């Protein structure tokens, strides 16, 4: 059974800006999307989101990036 996710965006985002939105599923799975392309979502569990956010804060761009 599929249900509607409740998407949230940062209080730092204005209504006019494109931003990341986050939704949590009933099983704890997290979903990320860009507000300007809502059909594309990244689905992950909390530890993976923590790693992603840590890498973003450190400026790690992806495969081959220096740590």
Tell me what pLDDT residue 65 has. 57
3-state class (DSSP) for residue 49: helix
Q: Please tell me the pTM assigned to this model.
A: 0.71
> Mean pLDDT in runs of 10 for the chain (67 residues)?
79 73 93 90 92 85 58
Q: Distance (Å, rounded) from C-alpha 49 to C-alpha 5? A: 17
Tell me what pLDDT residue 32 has. 92
Query: Would you tell me how many other CB atoms lie within 10 Å of the CB of residue 33?
Result: 20
Tell me what pLDDT residue 20 has. 86
């Amino acid at each position: 059974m599929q249900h509607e996710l409740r998407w949230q965006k940062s209080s730092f985002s204005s209504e006019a800006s494109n931003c990341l939105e986050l939704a949590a599923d009933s099983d704890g799975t997290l979903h990320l999307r860009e507000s300007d392309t809502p059909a594309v979502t990244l689905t992950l569990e909390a530890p993976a989101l923590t790693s992603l956010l840590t890498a973003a804060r450190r400026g790690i761009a992806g495969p081959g990036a220096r740590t």
